[in-house]
Amino acid sequence: MKSKRKIATGPEATRQALHCAATELFAQRGFKGATAELIARKAGVNKSMINYHFRGKKGLYHAVLRGPVEELVAEIERTGLARLEPEEGLGRFVELFTGVVEHHPRFPGLMLHELLAGGSVAIPEVLGCLRTVVGTVAGLIRKGIRLGRFRPVDPYLTHIGLMGGLLHFFITAPLRGAVLAGFQDAPRDPTASKYAAHVQEMLLRGLAAQSPGRRK
């Protein structure tokens, strides 16, 4: 006979309920639109618990946004991404980012609202992590250029293009199916892993140095 799963109670359950409710509401409404009252109501707890556990709504917002970013940095460090060969490292980064977003599906919406608000609320809290991400990707691109395997592109512009494409895929998910349905030859809505493979191929083909025999 299977034992019944215990439902968490107490302070940790309250903290988790607030975190989950805030993640959804911040992704939908942004920092200003998701009031403390709405978050507490959705979490089923007293509003004072936000101050108790997170020192206010801003502290809760920081905690929500830090989670996915810190997880991505932890994965970058765990896999030793910066030490890999440039092609492998960039391909692996696409996989890691996709995996983090699948684990935190509200992350793209959170970032979109934060950027539309000017990045002033939570970006300073995660600036170090974001610099680690940018520095790792740019470093892999520079390594590929130095080894003669990549074209002499701007590493930072390449990073912007890469991240823009990845975030766009997840942000447009609710709309994409309806748009593609209007084209008879359009593929079925791709999975995240299929899109990641597409991005890997496009990125590495686009970066690949042209062999001397093919130059005009």
Domain-wise residue ranges, the chain: 65-211
Contact 18, 40 (CB under 8 A): yes
Are residues 113 and 30 in contact, defined by beta-carbon separation less than 8 angstroms?
yes
Distance CA 65, CA 27 (A): 10
What distance separates the 2 farthest-apart alpha carbons in the chain? 73
Element at 205 (helix H, strand E): helix 192-207
Mean pLDDT of 148-177: 93
Q: For 65-211, CATH number?
A: 1.10.357.10
Interacting residues of 185 by C-beta distance below 8 A, sequence separation 6+ = none
- Going by pLDDT thresholds of 50, 70 and 90, the confidence category of residue 211 is low
Name the percent of the chain in helix, strand, coil, to the closest 5: 75, 0, 25
pLDDT band at 121 (very low <50, low <70, confident <90, very high): confident
CB within 8 Å of 53: residues ≥ 6 apart: 11, 14, 15, 18, 60
- Full-model pTM: 0.86
Segment 167-175 mean pLDDT: 89
Place of tokens 């991404």: 81
Question: Among residues 206, 112, 129, which one has the least CA distance to residue 166?
Answer: 112
Q: Which two tokens stand for residue 55?
A: 């020192």
Q: Give the per-residue pLDDT at 119.
A: 79
216: helix, coil or strand? coil
Q: What per-residue confidence (pLDDT) applies to 129? A: 94
DSSP letter at 1 equals -
- DSSP for 119-165? S-SSHHHHHHHHHHHHHHHHHHHHHHHHTTSB-S--HHHHHHHHHHH
- Provide the pLDDT confidence category of residue 201 given band limits of 50, 70 and 90: very high
At 76 the pLDDT is 97
Q: Which H or E element spans position 101?
A: helix 86-103
pLDDT of residue 122: 79
